Amino acid sequence: MIRGYFYSKGSAARVAAVLSSNGMGRYAIELEDGRVYRGELSHLNVSERLGNVERKIRLEDGTLFTSLDNDAIDVLFKGKQKVNALVHYLETHLRWIAVAVVVAIFTAFSFFKWGIPWTSQKIAHALPYETNELIAKGSMDFLDNYMFDESNLSQAQQEKISKHFYNNIAPL
């Protein structure tokens, strides 16, 4: 038996109620004023469990049953909310939270360390050579126009550096 409150469709007035199940897939909600609602458990829409927040069970006709007895609701709808039960289990066990954080950090690290370089290499090798040349030329033009300033070195010094580069570094 799950104690809670019953709300008629379109009304904010609540009535104390008890939800029970016969163990054969049927339910009964008994209101304190004597009314009884019956139906199939499979026709109920149960809200996700989030900590100890009040759960909402919506009936087929739009009426609502709410309860703070989350554990009893989990037992009653055990087969119906396996993903939700897993999330709640993970939320309430510090060890699994730590494991999830470590996995998330490792995944992010792996993505940046190996994923992006691997993907970049595949894309670079899939592009035609002319595309790479066009991108390189466009990049240098952009850098020249928007990022770099005119050199303060004399023309002779610039030529000396260029000659050193082409003779010693470029062949590598």
Q: What is the pLDDT of residues 117-161, one digit of tens each?
A: 999 999 888 888 888 788 878 888 888 888 888 888 999 999 999
Contact 73, 46 (CB under 8 A): yes
What number of residues does the chain have? Answer: 172
Q: What's the count of helices (H) and strands (E) in the chain, helices before strands? A: 6, 7
What is the CATH number for 21? 2.30.29
The boundaries of the domain holding residue 147 are: 94-169
Band (54; pLDDT cuts 50, 70, 90): very high
Indicate whether 139 belongs to any domain: yes
pLDDT for res 126 = 87
Enter the pTM of the model.
Answer: 0.49
Number of domains in the chain: 2
Cα 111 to Cα 106, 107, 115, 118, 162: the distances in Å are 8, 6, 4, 9, 38
Indicate whether 63 belongs to any domain: yes
